Chains A and B, each alone.
Chain A
Amino acid sequence: MFKIVRKKQLNDQVVLFEIEAPFIAKKAQAGQFIIFRLDEHGERVPLTISDFDREKGTITIVFQTVGASTIALGRLDEGDCISDVAGPLGVATEYDSNIKRVAVIGGGVGCAIAYPQAKKLSSMGVQVDLIAGFRSKDIVILEDEMRAVSKDLYVCTDDGSYGTKGFVTDKLKELIESGIKYDEVVAIGPVIMMKFVSKLTEPYGIKTIVSLNPIMIDGTGMCGGCRVTVDGKIRYACVDGPDFDGHKVDFDELMKRNNAYKTIETEHLCRLTGGKRNG
């Protein structure tokens, strides 16, 4: 059992948990993820590790309550336990020691995962420009934390209610066009955002790393459910990723595969409110 020692509601739909997981905390690195199973009836769901405290023996996860499992997870409180947490899974992000300046881009809840990347890069002495995109002001998360690990933080909102109006890609383009030389771009957020960031950086020849979160079950290289096409070949996000070269990922296929259970998910949601169960 894994105890929740801190809970913070970051916005209406995004929750932060700090969880006691001493073994995982000891090894966790930026870019890695865990798989949780809420209880005996739960599914196995991957979540990227947002932060860790090796001394305290805790890890932090930040998640959006969008599906049945994350909604149920979000209902837990401090002191409650999660039945199973396995990790740290996946390959940790590796950066070239020669890089000088990187643009880290987070979209929505993806900012919680972009944050540890920015933190790691600044600790390496890299200059980090952080671009954080949200739909609107009321869902902005982790602003102070992100500011602390970046040289410049640019918040963009789709509706202009906070920061700059527009998409993260608009801001990134503006920065690149202004003559800034980025050694790398790291993009973490909705698949569609990662796709367009990668499309934008490709003609400039800027190496772009994306963190993929396909549907997974075991997360240890057994089921093959998380396969993605990268450079025309099957790769497994759980053991080969979750980071991949954004210029080589087939994002359209990933988007379709991520929607495979959408209708079933809807039925699950209905069930939570007393509706009929699927299957």
Chain B
Amino acid sequence: MADMTLTKTPIAEQPPEERICNFKEVSLGYTAEEAMKEAGRCLNCKNKPCTTGCPVNVRIPEFIAKVAAGEFEEAYDIIKSTNALPAVCGRVCPQENQCEGKCVRGIKGEPVGIGRLERFCADYMMNKTRQAVKPTPNGHKVAVVGAGPSSLTVAGDLAKLGYEVTVYEAFHTAGGVLMYGIPEFRLPKEIVRKEIKSLEDMGVKIMTNMVIGKVLSVDELIEMGNEAVFIGTGAGLPRFMGIEGESLIGVYSANEYLTRINLMKAYKDGYQTPILSSHSVAVVGGGNVAMDSARCAKRMGAEKVYIIYRRSMDELPARKEEVHHAVEEGIEFMVLNNPVKIYGDENDRVKSIELLSMKLGEPDESGRRSPVAVEGSEHTLDIDTVIMALGTSPNPLIKSTTPGLETNKRGCLIVDEANATTKQGVYAGGDAVTGAATVILAMGAGKKAAAEIDKYIKNRSAEQNL
């Protein structure tokens, strides 16, 4: 009989006043006892609605049953069989819109803490050394461009099938947004490194400092004997608002601000990358990236940090837990506000931002009520830093150097239902296709692309052998 407690087993967290002074992980994770107790809340439904909500189809009730029985290693293996990066997903997936959103227990009370359990299993196995199983090579080569969540999923899935996979990364470090975007306090980089290491142990080759499109073209990758190429180049140039004052000193894109902190470790002693010190910060946007930026700014020492969002609290696209944590950490939400101008001081450093109040009107094409400006409601807020977290447009490098690769008007690569691009043998997934989205959606796309690449190469070699 399932444990019918209506709420999730509480999880230990660093208290807000403590954690805003460090970059250590906020959520401390379940103990084995807590995990088993939480796993006991699962009803093990026959039709498994949770699983349908998972972009990488983790067999959720199965792994939870193993956790409940204390068989953590077995639970981990079930997750890992469909999910290349469980320690990452357990931490950063928007579970409330996916698995947990479909959980029957959520109808009356809180859903089962699936994300927390996934994380528990991954962390439990993190320090266990297991002999890496190197699959038998199948004699086929695939190149993967980019080393973010979609690319790593493709690499892992294809390596498992025996492909010789080389991942080309433009930065000095693999991981993509997991390294440069998501902060340490939400996703410790050591975990990302370990997940990548496990791919390398499986035989995946990772080449850093390789800017594909510049140093090698996609066509050259094919000439080098790769039978298929996967493009997972992720987010590109940040969006700005096009308002006056965006070139002032102290206006950052979230990409730049987060990269300085997360990838380049500007928050750590001994690292050379500088970052401006801020007393009062306005973060424009309401997604996960906005929350990450705001919470980083707080940790970097800002006394006041505001989220400026043009809709209301109900429409914030960020993960619920991030909003909750941000509120706890003293981030002030100035919702129903839209920036119109940024003012600078005599040194061209940001001094203040002019906002216009908004109200909610009719639903727009996204189904959310659209913000409408309240005339004459201009007001200013004194700040010294602005972080624009408005999304990105896909990276232009590959498209501009690969003939035959088509993009839509937003610059996103066009793919069919098999994740195949308009160029034969070239597949794509993640933000390069969808525009800014989530880690798990990128992984879902990677999973699908890997299966399709496998099919494509096997069909092709079957035809050639006829």
- Chains A and B come from one and the same complex: yes
Binding site for B on A (CB under 8 A): 23-24, 26-27, 37, 41-44, 68-69, 83-89, 217-218, 220-225, 227, 229, 234, 236, 239, 250, 253, 256-257, 259-261, 264-265, 268, 277-279
Known: A224-B253, A224-B255. A43 touches B170 (CB 8 A): no
**Contact B237 A239, beta carbon cutoff 8 Å:** yes
In the assembled complex, how far is the CB of residue A235 from the closest CB belonging to chain B, in whole angstroms? 10
**Contact B264 A221, beta carbon cutoff 8 Å:** no
Known interface pairs A44-B273, A83-B172, A224-B253; 11 further A-B residue pairs with C-beta atoms within 8 A, sorted by A's residue number = A23-B215, A27-B215, A37-B172, A41-B271, A68-B272, A87-B211, A217-B273, A221-B395, A239-B237, A259-B249, A279-B267
Residues of A with C-beta under 8 A to B210: 23, 86
Residue of B nearest to A32 (CB): B214
With the chains together, A218 CA to B177 CA distance in Å?
13
**Contact B259 A218, beta carbon cutoff 8 Å:** yes
Known: A221-B397, A223-B255. A88 touches B235 (CB 8 A): no
**Contact A220 B211, beta carbon cutoff 8 Å:** yes
**Contact A220 B170, beta carbon cutoff 8 Å:** yes
Residues of B with C-beta under 8 A to A279: 266-267, 274-275, 277, 300
Chosen A-B contacts, 10 in total, with CB atoms closer than 8 Å, are: A26-B215, A37-B172, A43-B264, A87-B214, A220-B211, A221-B396, A222-B392, A234-B246, A256-B348, A260-B249
With the chains together, A163 CA to B253 CA distance in Å?
46
Residue of A nearest to B242 (CB): A234
With the chains together, A277 CA to B271 CA distance in Å?
10
In the assembled complex, how far is the CB of residue B265 from the closest CB belonging to chain A, in whole angstroms? 8
With the chains together, A89 CA to B400 CA distance in Å?
13
Select the residue from A42, A260, A277 with max chain B CB neighbours within 10 A. Answer: A260
With the chains together, A217 CA to B172 CA distance in Å?
12
**Contact B274 A268, beta carbon cutoff 8 Å:** yes
Residue of A nearest to B264 (CB): A43
**Contact A86 B170, beta carbon cutoff 8 Å:** yes
With the chains together, A279 CA to B267 CA distance in Å?
7
With the chains together, A218 CA to B179 CA distance in Å?
13
With the chains together, A227 CA to B259 CA distance in Å?
16
**Contact B209 A84, beta carbon cutoff 8 Å:** yes
**Contact B249 A222, beta carbon cutoff 8 Å:** no
With the chains together, A256 CA to B395 CA distance in Å?
27
With the chains together, A268 CA to B269 CA distance in Å?
11
With the chains together, A236 CA to B236 CA distance in Å?
11
Residues of B with C-beta under 8 A to A253: 247
Q: Which of B236, B238, B276, B395 contacts A260 (CB 8 A)?
A: B276
B243-258 interface with A by 8 A CB criterion = 246-247, 249, 252-253, 255-256
Residues of A with C-beta under 8 A to B246: 234
With the chains together, A265 CA to B275 CA distance in Å?
10
With the chains together, A87 CA to B392 CA distance in Å?
23
Q: Which 3 A-B pairs have the closest CB atoms?
A: A224-B253, A223-B256, A224-B238
Residues of A with C-beta under 8 A to B269: 277
**Contact A222 B259, beta carbon cutoff 8 Å:** yes
Residues of B with C-beta under 8 A to A26: 215
**Contact B208 A84, beta carbon cutoff 8 Å:** yes
**Contact A43 B259, beta carbon cutoff 8 Å:** no
Residues of B with C-beta under 8 A to A223: 238, 253, 255-256, 259
**Contact B277 A23, beta carbon cutoff 8 Å:** no
With the chains together, A69 CA to B264 CA distance in Å?
13
Residues of A with C-beta under 8 A to B256: 217, 223-225
With the chains together, A26 CA to B249 CA distance in Å?
38
Whether B28 is near chain A, meaning CB under 8 Å from some CB there, is no
**Binary CB contact string for chain B from 274 to 294 against chain A (1 if under 8 A, 0 otherwise):** 111100000000000000000
**Contact B211 A89, beta carbon cutoff 8 Å:** yes
**Contact A86 B395, beta carbon cutoff 8 Å:** no
Q: Which of B214, B247, B395 contacts A229 (CB 8 A)?
A: B247
**Contact B214 A27, beta carbon cutoff 8 Å:** yes
**Binary CB contact string for chain B from 340 to 361 against chain A (1 if under 8 A, 0 otherwise):** 0000000110000000000000
Whether B260 is near chain A, meaning CB under 8 Å from some CB there, is yes
In the assembled complex, how far is the CB of residue A89 from the closest CB belonging to chain B, in whole angstroms? 6
Residues of A with C-beta under 8 A to B6: none
Q: Which of B214, B247, B266 contacts A89 (CB 8 A)?
A: B214
**Contact B237 A222, beta carbon cutoff 8 Å:** yes
With the chains together, A161 CA to B139 CA distance in Å?
67
**Contact A239 B397, beta carbon cutoff 8 Å:** yes
With the chains together, A12 CA to B35 CA distance in Å?
64
In the assembled complex, how far is the CB of residue B363 from the closest CB belonging to chain A, in whole angstroms? 31
Residues of A with C-beta under 8 A to B276: 260-261, 264
In the assembled complex, how far is the CB of residue B397 from the closest CB belonging to chain A, in whole angstroms? 6
Select the residue from B210, B273, B397 with max chain A CB neighbours within 10 A. Answer: B273
Residue of A nearest to B394 (CB): A221
Residues of B with C-beta under 8 A to A257: 247, 249
In the assembled complex, how far is the CB of residue A254 from the closest CB belonging to chain B, in whole angstroms? 9
Residue of B nearest to A228 (CB): B247
**Contact A217 B259, beta carbon cutoff 8 Å:** yes
Whether B171 is near chain A, meaning CB under 8 Å from some CB there, is yes
Residues of B with C-beta under 8 A to A86: 170-172, 209-211, 215
Residues of A with C-beta under 8 A to B376: none
Residues of A with C-beta under 8 A to B259: 217-218, 222-223
Residues of A with C-beta under 8 A to B132: none
With the chains together, A151 CA to B236 CA distance in Å?
43
In the assembled complex, how far is the CB of residue B388 from the closest CB belonging to chain A, in whole angstroms? 8
Residues of B with C-beta under 8 A to A225: 252-253, 256
Known: A223-B259, A268-B272. A218 touches B215 (CB 8 A): no
With the chains together, A243 CA to B236 CA distance in Å?
20
Known: A27-B215, A68-B272. A218 touches B396 (CB 8 A): no
**Contact B215 A88, beta carbon cutoff 8 Å:** yes
Residues of A with C-beta under 8 A to B253: 223-225
Known: A83-B172, A229-B247, A260-B249. A217 touches B260 (CB 8 A): yes
Residues of A with C-beta under 8 A to B396: 221, 239
Q: Which of A227, A256, A259, A278 contacts B274 (CB 8 A)?
A: A278
Residues of B with C-beta under 8 A to A277: 269-270
Whether B216 is near chain A, meaning CB under 8 Å from some CB there, is yes
Residues of A with C-beta under 8 A to B171: 86, 218
In the assembled complex, how far is the CB of residue A229 from the closest CB belonging to chain B, in whole angstroms? 6
Residues of B with C-beta under 8 A to A27: 214-216
Q: Which of A23, A89, A227, A236 contacts B216 (CB 8 A)?
A: A23
Residues of B with C-beta under 8 A to A83: 172
In the assembled complex, how far is the CB of residue A214 from the closest CB belonging to chain B, in whole angstroms? 11
Residues of A with C-beta under 8 A to B300: 279
Whether B240 is near chain A, meaning CB under 8 Å from some CB there, is yes
Residues of B with C-beta under 8 A to A218: 170-171, 180, 259
**Binary CB contact string for chain B from 415 to 444 against chain A (1 if under 8 A, 0 otherwise):** 000000000000000000000000000000
